Amino acid sequence: MNKRSGHTIWVRICHWLAALSVIALMVSGYAMLMTNPNLYWGEVGNPLTPAFLELPVSKNFQHGGWSEPTPFFDTEDSPVTSNRGFEILNLNSWGRSLHFLMSWIFVITGCVYLVLGLLSGHFRRNLLPSAGELSSTAFWRDVKQHARFQVSASDSGPPYGLLQKFAYCMILFFIIPVIFLTGLTMSPSITAAFPVLLDIFGGYQSARTIHFFAFVAMALFLLVHILMVLLTGVGRQLRGMTLGLKLPDIEHD
């Protein structure tokens, strides 16, 4: 059996900081979503306007209704106000505070990972598929093996499989940037300085909706990631990701 190292120390530190911050972001994001479980599209949206999607995540979903709307002005397109006919569930205060705090921890960790990954050649060497791997036959073979749970035990760390590389690259270079940019777009102070963000994502409410779906994609990735860790030897994977121990390669018959 050959000896090979687990993950490098900077990969391990970034991994666990990101994992802890993502858990906190999920909890705080869910708390904020329960306050207004409706998603909208466009520039504005509130509980008195039609929703793009209604999520049954709290008692604020399909609630007790509103009193008769009262317009602010005597015009046909006047904004309206109305009193709630129910006691609102509001966890927005601590949810927003925790979400903003952990989002910057996640962003700083991601920036450190990005810089070190580029400087060390980690992305080029371990994450980007090589020209020889890029074939539809190899890709679909990997997809079928994962769909049938035909995943053999593996070492902790590189080399990664083709489907694994695609998943990591999709999360690192697409989903996470979308989450970050849509999060910035929901801030009026940021869009005042960079109004182009509103043009890119179609408004504050569209950015919130895209932010939600991008984070759902990340959550699904994490579920599959944890499942793969369990299937490929959780003890070996955790030792490599926490202690960076040199682990023996697995020999197959």
Query: What is the arithmetic mean of pLDDT over 48-56?
Result: 87
pLDDT score recorded for residue 104? 93
User: pLDDT tens, 91-116?
Assistant: 788 889 999 999 999 999 999 999 99
Domain limits for position 17? 10-64+84-248
56: Cβ contacts below 8 Å, ≥ 6 apart: 37, 62
* Residue among 94, 93, 103, 110 at smallest CA distance from 183: 103
User: pLDDT tens, 60-74?
Assistant: 777 766 777 788 888
CA distance 155 to 233: 9
CATH at residue 152: 1.20.950.20
Q: Please give the C-alpha separations between residue 173 and each of 119, 165, 176, in angstroms, as whole numbers.
A: 16, 12, 7
CB contact at 8 A, 37 and 61 = yes
Query: What is the arithmetic mean of pLDDT over 199-204?
Result: 94
Task: For residue 70, tell me if it sits in a domain.
Answer: no
Domain count of the chain? 1
Instruction: Note if the bond before 195 is cis, omega within 30 degrees.
Output: no
- Give me 178's structure tokens: 């979308």
Q: What is the DSSP letter of 232?
A: T
Task: For residue 79, tell me if it sits in a domain.
Answer: no
pLDDT score recorded for residue 152? 60
- Does residue 39 surpass a pLDDT of 50? yes
Task: For residue 92, tell me if it sits in a domain.
Answer: yes
Which of 7 and 124 is assigned the larger pLDDT? 124
Task: For residue 73, tell me if it sits in a domain.
Answer: no
CA distance 26 to 102: 10
- Give me 153's structure tokens: 């035990």
pLDDT band at 29 (very low <50, low <70, confident <90, very high): very high
Q: pTM value?
A: 0.81
CB contact at 8 A, 37 and 60 = yes
Task: For residue 186, tell me if it sits in a domain.
Answer: yes
N residues, the chain: 253
pLDDT score recorded for residue 86? 66
